[in-house]
Chains A and B, each alone.
Chain A
Amino acid sequence: MLQYALHRLALAVPTLFGLTVVIFIAIRVLMPVDVVDVLLGETDTTFDPTIAAELREKFGLDGPLPVQYARWLGRVAQGDLGRSFVSGRPVTEELLYRVPTSLQLGLGALVITVLVALPIGMMSAVRRDTVPDYLARGGAILLYAVPGFWLAILVLVFGSVWFRWAPSIEFRPFWEDPLANLKHIWLPMLILGLNSTGTMIRLVRTQVLEVLGHDYVRTARAKGLSTQTVYFRHVLRNALLPIVTVVGLQIPNVVSGTVIFEQIFLVPGVGRYLLTALQRLDIYVILGTNLFFGTVLVFSNLVVDILYGVIDPRIRFSGR
Chain B
Amino acid sequence: MNSNYWLSRRMSRRVSRRGVLRSSAIGGLGLAGAALLGCSGDDEEPSGGATPDTIATTDPAGSGEPQRGGTLRTHSLGDVETFYMLTAPQLSGGRQMGYAISRLLMPSVGEGGPADGSLVGDLSESHEVVDPQTYVFHLRKGVTWDDRAPTSGREFNAEDVVRSFDQASETARARGSISNAVNPDAPIESMTALDDHTVEMKLAFPDVLVLYQIANLSPMGIYPVEAIDGAFNPEQEMRGTGPFRLVEYRQGVSMRFERNEKWHLGPERPYLDAIELSIIPEAAQLETQFRAGNIHMGSGEISNQPQLVQEVPGTLLYTAPPEGNGATLNFNWMPDSSFLDERVRRAASMALDRDTFIEVIFRPAEYVEAGLELPQTWNNPLPSSYGPWWLDPKGPDFGESAQYMHHNLEEARRLLDAAGFNDGNPLRYELIFPGNRHDSRRTRQAETWQAMSSQAGIEVVLNSTDYNTGWLEIYSPSRGYWPRGPEQSEPMDGVLYRPSSSKTDAGQWFTDYFNPQGSNTITGEEFPDLWDQVVALKGMTDEEERRAAVHDIQRYAVEHMVTCPVDATTDFTDVHWEGLHGPGVVQPWPGALGGYGYATEVLPHYWLDERLRT
Contacts and interface: CB of A to CB of B under 8 A. Distances in A.
A94 B81 CA distance: 13
A170 B254 contact: yes
Contact of A166 (B88, B91, B292): B292
Interface string B73-113: 00000111110000111110100000000000000000000
Interface stretch (A16-24, A38-46, A224-232, A298-306): A38-46
Number of contact residues on B: which range applies? 35 or more
Contact of A266 (B32, B280, B291, B469): B280
Contacts of A50: 182
A37 interface: yes
B95 to A, nearest CB: 14
A69 interface: no
A47 interface: yes
B399 interface: no
B539 to A, nearest CB: 20
Interface in B470-496: 472-473, 475-479
A98 B79 CA distance: 14
Given A87-B82, A264-B282, A33 B473 contact: yes
B285 A46 contact: no
A276 B87 CA distance: 21
B284 A153 contact: yes
B281 A263 contact: yes
Contacts of A98: 251-252
Nearest to A267: B252
A150 B173 contact: no
Contacts of A49: 477
Given A39-B89, A44-B174, A47-B176, A164 B291 contact: yes
B35 interface: yes
Given A32-B473, A43-B519, A46-B185, A149 B176 contact: no
Interface string A186-225: 0000000000000000000000000000000000000000
A150 B475 CA distance: 35
B472 A38 contact: yes
B177 interface: yes
Interface stretch (A74-82, A127-135, A155-163): A155-163
Nearest to A50: B182
Interface stretch (B23-31, B122-130, B199-207): B23-31
Given A47-B176, A97-B251, A268-B253, A276 B79 contact: yes
Contacts of A265: 285
Given A45-B519, A46-B183, A264-B284, A154 B32 contact: yes
B226 interface: no
A308 interface: no
Contact of A43 (B29, B36, B87, B91): B91
B477 A47 contact: yes
Contacts of A149: 36
Contact of B311 (A40, A157, A161): A161
A55 B24 CA distance: 49
Given A52-B477, A153-B35, A45 B176 contact: yes
B512 interface: yes
B182 A157 contact: no
Contacts of A88: 82, 87-89, 235
A166 B294 contact: yes
A268 B281 CA distance: 11
Main secondary structure of the interface of A (DSSP, over half): helix
Nearest to A55: B89
A34 B479 CA distance: 11
Contact of B31 (A51, A97, A157, A266): A157
A44 B473 contact: no
A85 B21 CA distance: 41
A45 B293 CA distance: 40
A266 B278 contact: yes
Contacts of B312: 164
Contact of B518 (A46, A55, A58, A161): A46
Nearest to A97: B251
A14 B512 CA distance: 52
A34 B177 CA distance: 24
Interface in B261-292: 278-282, 284-285, 287-289, 291-292
A168 B287 CA distance: 13
Contacts of B63: none
Interface string A164-184: 111101110000000000000
Contacts of A3: none
B175 interface: yes
B250 interface: yes
A170 B288 contact: no
B33 interface: yes
Contact of A273 (B28, B186, B252): B252
A281 B518 contact: no
Nearest to A52: B477
A31 interface: yes
18 contacts: A34-B473, A43-B174, A43-B519, A44-B520, A48-B176, A50-B182, A85-B90, A87-B80, A150-B33, A154-B32, A160-B292, A161-B291, A161-B311, A166-B289, A167-B285, A169-B278, A169-B289, A279-B467
Interface of A: 31-34, 37-52, 55, 58, 85-89, 94, 97-98, 149-150, 153-154, 156-161, 164-167, 169-171, 263-266, 268, 272-273, 276, 278-281
Interface of B: 21, 24-25, 28-29, 31-33, 35-36, 78-82, 87-91, 93, 173-177, 182-183, 185-186, 235, 250-254, 278-282, 284-285, 287-289, 291-295, 311-312, 467-469, 472-473, 475-479, 501, 503, 512, 515, 517-520
